Amino acid sequence: MDVQRSTHTQHIGQNRKRLKEDRSIKQHEIADLIGMHRSNYNKIDNGQREISISALDKIAAYFDITLDELVHMGEDLPKEVNVGDKTTAEQVKLIQELD
């Protein structure tokens, strides 16, 4: 696993943890929700295993947030980017900022 991917995984894990703590939900409840064995979900929380997009989607739906909100919790993200009136260089810059 490369460093950038590991950082993203840790960031998403922190967001999931924050949601669980804010709503007083136990780890095993989330594991049951996404249909995963509790020991496997524990490995995800400990950074020993990655979580699937479909599992993240189920978690986001449970907490009534979007997957984007789960991944980027607490960050200022543009709701919409209009590139129609931008030069090619400006469009490329805006796209890079989304990554």
Report how far residue 49's alpha carbon sits from residue 9's, in angstroms, rounded to the nearest whole number: 9
Looking at residue 37, its pLDDT comes to: 93
Looking at residue 91, its pLDDT comes to: 77
Grouped pLDDT means (10 residues each) for the chain, 99 residues: 57 83 89 91 83 89 88 68 75 74
Going 79 to 83 to 85 to 90, the CA torsion angle's sign is positive
CB 16 within 8 A of CB 70: yes
Q: What is the pTM of this model?
A: 0.64
Segments making up each domain of the chain, as ranges = 1-99
Looking at residue 1, its pLDDT comes to: 47
- The second-level CATH assignment, the architecture, of 1-99 is Orthogonal Bundle (1.10)
